Amino acid sequence: MSQPTLQTSLAPQAVKAALHAIPLNATVGVGITDVGVGWATGECPDTPAFHNHLGTIHAGAQFLLAEAVSGAAFAGAFAAQLAGAVPLIERLDTQYVGRAQGSLSARAEARAADLPAALQAYGAEGKARLVIEVSVRDGENREGMQVVAHWYLRSRATIRGG
């Protein structure tokens, strides 16, 4: 079954461009490869400057990729609301499950059952939270990191209104 792509004024290219414009993402080479409604994929090249003392991909590079791809999935879920809102990461729960060798890839997904309630909460209160699950894999398709990202969206009107 195919997953829905963005059908709003915020195209996948806009999400990719916004995340690629973050200087740290650009420095490490983190890129978003695809974005849909509540999901995204990304990658990070194997760069020797970002290896650790074991010669594998540094945990910081994996973390950065996980945070970026979770943000892209969140943006995909709230694409229609982002122009008037501020998204913030509240927490990233990480578990390193293996050493990462080679270029990294990641996939982030919101739980499909959580999307309607989050959108309804934002419509009613101007605030919403959404959990995004991420898997980071290495060049041999072995999982190196599991992440649960907790994102928060607040309308600019509720910020001004205090």
* Count of the separate structural domains present in the chain: 1
pLDDT band at 128 (very low <50, low <70, confident <90, very high): very high
CATH number at residue 124: 3.10.129.10
Residue 119 has pLDDT above 70, yes or no: yes
The better pLDDT of the pair 10, 140 is held by 140
Distance CA 53, CA 3 (A): 39
146 has a pLDDT exceeding 70: yes
Q: What is the model's pTM?
A: 0.89
Does the residue 35 lie in any domain?
yes
- Would you say residue 114 lies in a domain? yes
**Residue 106 lies inside a defined structural domain of this protein:** yes
The number of beta carbons lying within 10 Å of the beta carbon of residue 111 is 12
Q: How confident is the model at residue 10 (pLDDT cuts 50, 70, 90)?
A: low
How sure is the predictor about 5, in pLDDT bands with cuts at 50, 70 and 90? very low
Q: For residue 87, is it within any domain?
A: yes
3-state secondary structure (DSSP) of residue 54: coil
Cα maximum dimension of the chain: 51
